Amino acid sequence: MSRWVCWTHTDDERDSPNKRRPKRQPLPGNLERIEHRYEIDSGLCSKGHVLKRIGEEISEQLDCEPARFFVHRHIRGKYVCACCQTVLAAPLPAQLVDKGIPAPDLMAQVIVAKHDDHLPAYRQEEIYARSGVCIPRSSIATWIGIGGVWLQPLADAIRTALLAQPVLHADETPVAELKPGAGKTHRAYVWVYRSACQPLVVYDYRGSRAGEHAREFLRGWSGTLVVDDFSGYKALFAGGAIREAGCWAHARRKFFEAHKLTGSALAAQALERIGELYRIEQDLRDLDPEERLRRRHQDTQPRLQALHAWMLEHRARLAKADATARAIDYTLGRWAALSVFATDAAVPIDNNAAERAVRPIALGRKNWLFVGSRQAGERAAALMTLIESAKLCGLDPWAYLKDVFTKLPTWPNSRLGELLPHNWAKSNAPALST
């Protein structure tokens, strides 16, 4: 199915009259160009003089066409042996769905439409009907489930690769799960784990927000875990194998809310001091780990010490109920975890990477509203793991899944790692650059 590129502005850019209009980006060079040529008919100027062609003026428009469906006809020659009375036919290639309709491209399409474009099955049904193809929503849902089964081994392999990383982010977000036969929903959770330095993210579907789910997922792992202040993670840090790193974005948010509520000058000063930490991190983003750590020792640690002393000094003068006092109390209570990044080059300053990984779930549930069962939630988590890991690698998830679905029916298990997004991106780099 055809896919096309579009350009959008952020809400801030679109809504704010004071924002400068973004510069129009050039149209991608890999798109097909259909040329329309125009020439002056007479070849003469208005005074009758002969015109000399000196070049061309070129302008471009972006166009698209709706999804295009086509049918693969598999025609197998049949042969008979007159002596043995045996009929033989050439074998069909291995299929994703035995005797089913969807080719790899279509299987990738319905999955990406559901879990990246957030289109429920009934809306996909309506869209495809406009192209003259009737695909019942029940069939779409079935295909998505089958795709999840095929991709589960890859999702498991991403989990294994993730748990080999020394620094991870974690976050969680609720989803509604339909209760069997009751017509009601209960709150389940998707737990998100992301590597701090590799394009790996895993979505783990669980029935609740209980901390036991994080402990089960991370059983046997040791390293640094970047989290917010949710109590469900606390038991992980008791044994010493896992070190807690805090999130300065959460701490900053407390002061932002205090300033918004009260206009506190102290909260504004805290925001400026925290902003200095972020400005330093911006400068360190592209440095190698050794140089990043040196700069954190040189630039970040003195500012952290000064910020800590400043908070202690001003906290003593504030009432307990003061909004800025509550922000200071939160930050001081998390100080050990918030300071970890300054002593380890591999640890980021905040947990924003995990929060970004949660957003597709938050956006999706506004559209598909709930998951139909525990199994459906687990399948969706596996699909999100593949799609979002592919996007972290800079891949078009549809192109990636199309190729994976084409290969999987005959792909040996011993080479499964080659199909993981980060490895697939390397082996397909020449094709991606054309």
DSSP for residue 71 = -
- The residue that leads in pLDDT, 52 or 337, is 337
CA–CA gap between residue 386 and residue 366 (Å, rounded):
21
Residue 6: the pLDDT is 38
Query: Does 388 lie in the same domain as 364?
Result: yes
Note whether 330 and 225 are same-domain residues.
no
- Residue 218: pLDDT above 60? yes
Digit-coded pLDDT (tens) for 291-322:
999 999 999 999 999 999 999 999 998 898 89
Does one domain contain both 231 and 373?
Answer: yes
Q: How confident is the model at residue 114 (pLDDT cuts 50, 70, 90)?
A: very high
How confident is the model over 116-135, as pLDDT tens digits? 999 999 999 999 999 999 99
The verdict on 391 and 292 lying in the same domain is no
Give residue 288's pLDDT.
95
Residue 384 lies in a domain: yes
* Better-predicted residue by pLDDT, 338 or 3: 338
Whether the pLDDT of residue 164 is over 70: the answer is yes
**Domain assignment of residue 316, given as a range:** 247-347
Q: Is it the case that residue 112 has pLDDT exceeding 90?
A: yes
- For 79-116, give the secondary structure using H, E and C: EEECCCCEEEECCCCCCCCCCCCCCHHHHHHHHHHHHC
349/368 Cα distance (integer angstroms): 34
In a domain? residue 417:
yes
Domain shared by 125 and 198, yes or no = yes
Whether 110 and 240 share a structural domain: yes
pLDDT at 386: 98
Domain boundary among 315, 347, 379: 347
- Do 322 and 270 lie in one domain? The reply is yes
How confident is the model at residue 180, as a pLDDT? 81
pTM of the complete model: 0.86
pLDDT at residue number 17: 46
Say yes or no to pLDDT of 337 above 80. Answer: yes
Same domain flag for 108 and 198: yes
Region 372-390: mean pLDDT is 95
> Do 152 and 301 fall within a single domain?
no
> CB–CB of 296/342 below 8 Å?
yes
Residue 193 lies in a domain: yes
**What percentage of residues in the chain have a pLDDT greater than 70?**
94
What count of residues does the chain have? 434
Average pLDDT over residues 352-379: 92
- Give yes or no: residues 355 and 402 share one domain: yes
Domains in the chain, number: 2
Do residues 357 and 334 both lie within one domain? no
Confidence of residue 431 (pLDDT cuts 50, 70, 90): low
The predicted model gives 103-127 an average pLDDT of: 96
Kindly report, residue by residue over 3-43, the tens digit of the pLDDT. Answer: 443 333 333 434 444 556 667 788 888 889 999 998 888 88
User: Given 284, 313, 347, which residue is the final one in a domain?
Assistant: 347
Residue 402 lies in a domain: yes
Q: Is residue 27 domain-resident?
A: no
Give residue-wise pLDDT tens across range 247-257: 999 999 999 99
| In-domain check, residue 161 | yes
Q: What is the pLDDT of residue 19?
A: 56
Task: Kindly state whether residue 254 falls inside one of the protein's structural domains.
Answer: yes
Of 311, 329, 347, the last residue of a domain is 347
194 CA to centre of own chain: 10
pLDDT at 10: 35
Q: Is the pLDDT of residue 425 over 70?
A: yes
Is 417:423 a contact under the CB 8 Å cutoff?
yes
Summarised one tens digit per residue, pLDDT across range 130-160 is: 999 999 999 999 999 999 999 999 999 999 9
Average pLDDT of the chain?
91
Residues 340 and 375 in one domain: no
Which helix (H) or strand (E) segment holds residue 274: the answer is helix 265-284
Domain-located, residue 25: no
